[in-house]
Structure 1
């Protein structure tokens, strides 16, 4: 049967309509699909570019920079310093790594002990040390006649201890270039001491914190562990029935030095500096905790060097310089009566509020002033013990390494 004209026309219109719809769909897909594909292509390209640059970003992110230097190129940052004297003219040395390793002697001094200090400093300068003098009496010009004076760094502040000076002028970043830091008092005899050989011994023995032994015939001895043993080169502990038995590992039986002539390695000093309190300037009690800065087992890394020894004269110098001509014989007698003060029984730690406040030296006699200084020292020891105890209690993450050793 043949189709009618109407049916043919209707079929043609239907086909044309389908063609228009299909064409419209294709155009829609082309326009909007292309836009989507273009956006996706852009995102893919962006991700690829980020993946190419991320190693650089991550590499730079992982690099530690000293605080405050983030806006500087890394190579220009000089993060540490030193106490070297620099010439105003002449050749500039570009290769700083070629500088020979040195150590530092920092010495608290008053003009009344000028002769003793001169003997000490001359030995150290002869062994390539840098020397820094802390003048606690404010007198500097009267040292100018000594041949080494212009080569030393002089720092002056009235009535301050070497620990006050050290906290403020021996920051670890300032002395980072020095292999060892000798932080000594002025009343020491060094006729039997050779700095160069001492350095060789502590390097070989692996001592991070040390001191020369004391000649008992010429020294004021506070703790028996510091007395020289003539038969050995180094000792690290002291035996005493009832207190320092064979298994004792804690100070002052082991892992301990006294504070008149300590010697610190670079790493040990960085730790010790952080432990020095700003306001506890006599540093009593600090010696009992120095082992925590020994970079390992204090019974091994802390020791007394017997082969190179000194004498500790025990002169009560700090606090006596207000009198123009003090009677040193009477002062020596006072020192003798108080030389074993650190051996006296220590009371339980008291509140920091009980600390004895400083008394103006201008209204005190020398003997009264020395007594006030001793009282202040004991108060500081109690205060430091309180702070240590509180710090341990508050730091939930801290683990006492030596308590673990003692309990094993």
Structure 2
């Protein structure tokens, strides 16, 4: 009896121990499994958080990179090697590979020239100091070698293309990124008299007056004046408008706000700031080489109010001789030139009238293109419409 009771007690103890061990095992397993689930969820959340941070960082970095646009075609290059602009400064073949840039502000004088106006062009260029100006000649007659004897010729940039206008040259060789180093661009004809013109004083005046687009006034007694606004006013330093109540065409009043009454310069001797030239260059049409009509729209490139930022400088004035050059008449040609250009009848055709006719045709084409561009660009609004 006593032996049986002892066996039962041992059995109960064994069962209790097994039960406790089983419970402990199950509890341990539950804790381990629960911990595993927790750690897995935590790791998932942590990994998701890290991935989210990485995505945000990547997106932000990508956005920052895209914010600073690279020029077309340079996307595969490291940003630091991309040279966005150029200049017309000549470099020597020997000596230091990197030259220090001039401390003086540099400007550009560009002139369309023919050999017959060589003497007058020489006078013009000598008015522009080499320390402040780069000179660029557009040779429309191809006779580049005829200029070699001038002392400044070797320092000038010479570009040659037969029978092309200065606007044809300007569109192709004065891209804004090429002339971005120059404060002002003087885009002049060759038949300008500069006896009463001082470029240093002129630059000082247009800076003081805030003129983005300008021209020297024209001496009305010695010049061919096409629009009254360009005529010199003796008692004035600068004028920005004209009152003309007797005009055969458009009359100008005190409150006129449109060209050619205000906000206008003629195209024989315009001067552009760097910013205004960048805008104006885009308006020049590659196939309309006479650029007629462009002068009436230059106000849109005046960097603000065209009635204030465009003007005529009276105190520094010039003479416009109005010599016919491209398509000139027979009297302006030498006998040797005439022999090579005579027609079957033995006469030299006067092409000046046909050139003028082409100019009027281009004027109408440009005006129609402007109207079409305004009509089709739904995002554009005319800043001068309310004036």
**Bucket of the pairwise TM-score, normalised by the shorter protein:** 0.7 to 0.9
Task: Indicate if the aligned counterparts of 2:167 and 2:289 stay in contact, CA closer than 8 A.
Answer: yes
1:215 aligns with 2:223: no
Return the TM-score normalized by structure 2.
0.86
Task: Indicate if the aligned counterparts of 2:217 and 2:231 stay in contact, CA closer than 8 A.
Answer: yes
SS of the aligned residue for 1:401 comes to: coil
Q: Aligned-pair distance for 1:170?
A: 0.1
Q: Aligned-pair distance for 1:114?
A: 1.1
Task: Indicate if the aligned counterparts of 2:329 and 2:351 stay in contact, CA closer than 8 A.
Answer: no
1:255 aligns with 2:263: yes
SS of the aligned residue for 2:107 comes to: strand
Alignment-derived partner of residue 150 in structure 2: 146
Task: Indicate if the aligned counterparts of 2:342 and 2:349 stay in contact, CA closer than 8 A.
Answer: no
Q: Provide the C-alpha distance between the structure 2 equivalents of 1:373 and 1:204, rounded to a whole number of angstroms.
A: 39
Which of 292, 304, 326 matches 1:296?
Answer: 304
Q: Aligned-pair distance for 1:30?
A: 3.2
Alignment-derived partner of residue 375 in structure 1: 357
Cα distance change on mapping 1:388 and 1:128 into 2, 3 Å: same
1:260-275 matches, cutoff 5 A = 260-275=268-283
Alignment-derived partner of residue 43 in structure 1: 48
Q: Aligned-pair distance for 1:164?
A: 0.4
Task: Indicate if the aligned counterparts of 1:111 and 1:142 stay in contact, CA closer than 8 A.
Answer: yes
Task: Indicate if the aligned counterparts of 1:124 and 1:195 stay in contact, CA closer than 8 A.
Answer: yes
Q: Provide the C-alpha distance between the structure 1 equivalents of 2:228 and 2:165, rounded to a whole number of angstroms.
A: 25
Cα distance change on mapping 1:363 and 1:197 into 2, 3 Å: farther
Task: Indicate if the aligned counterparts of 1:163 and 1:276 stay in contact, CA closer than 8 A.
Answer: yes
Q: Aligned-pair distance for 1:319?
A: 2.0
1:152-163 matches, cutoff 5 A = 152-163=156-167
Cα distance change on mapping 1:155 and 1:195 into 2, 3 Å: same
1:306 aligns with 2:306: no
Return the TM-score normalized by structure 1.
0.81
Query: What runs of 5+ residues in structure 1 fail to find an aligned partner?
Result: 328-360
The C-alpha deviation readout for 1:334-374, integer Å capped at 9, x for no partner, is xxxxxxxxxxxxxxxxxxxxxxxxxxx88697653111111
Q: Aligned-pair distance for 1:45?
A: 4.1
Cα distance change on mapping 1:316 and 1:52 into 2, 3 Å: closer
Alignment-derived partner of residue 178 in structure 2: 174
* Cα RMSD for the two superposed structures: 3.1
Mean Cα deviation higher: 117-126 or 172-181:
117-126
Q: Provide the C-alpha distance between the structure 2 equivalents of 1:77 and 1:95, rounded to a whole number of angstroms.
A: 20
1:240 aligns with 2:222: no
Cα distance change on mapping 1:71 and 1:220 into 2, 3 Å: same
Cα distance change on mapping 1:94 and 1:53 into 2, 3 Å: farther
Cα distance change on mapping 1:127 and 1:8 into 2, 3 Å: closer
Q: Aligned-pair distance for 1:28?
A: 2.4
Cα distance change on mapping 1:322 and 1:69 into 2, 3 Å: farther
Cα distance change on mapping 1:17 and 1:300 into 2, 3 Å: same
Cα distance change on mapping 1:382 and 1:129 into 2, 3 Å: same
Task: Indicate if the aligned counterparts of 2:291 and 2:362 stay in contact, CA closer than 8 A.
Answer: yes
Cα distance change on mapping 1:278 and 1:117 into 2, 3 Å: same
The structure that has the greater radius of gyration is 2
Cα distance change on mapping 1:52 and 1:315 into 2, 3 Å: closer
Alignment-derived partner of residue 3 in structure 2: none
Alignment-derived partner of residue 5 in structure 2: none
Task: Indicate if the aligned counterparts of 2:109 and 2:134 stay in contact, CA closer than 8 A.
Answer: yes
1:384 aligns with 2:372: no
Aligned residue pairs, count: 369
Q: Provide the C-alpha distance between the structure 2 equivalents of 1:255 and 1:244, rounded to a whole number of angstroms.
A: 12
Q: Provide the C-alpha distance between the structure 2 equivalents of 1:31 and 1:385, rounded to a whole number of angstroms.
A: 79
Task: Indicate if the aligned counterparts of 2:194 and 2:319 stay in contact, CA closer than 8 A.
Answer: yes
SS of the aligned residue for 2:385 comes to: helix
1:4-403 matches, cutoff 5 A = 21-47=26-52, 59-93=64-98, 96=101, 99-125=103-129, 128-241=132-245, 243-320=251-328, 325-326=333-334, 368-403=350-385
Query: What runs of 5+ residues in structure 2 fail to find an aligned partner?
Result: 1-7, 336-340
SS of the aligned residue for 1:305 comes to: strand
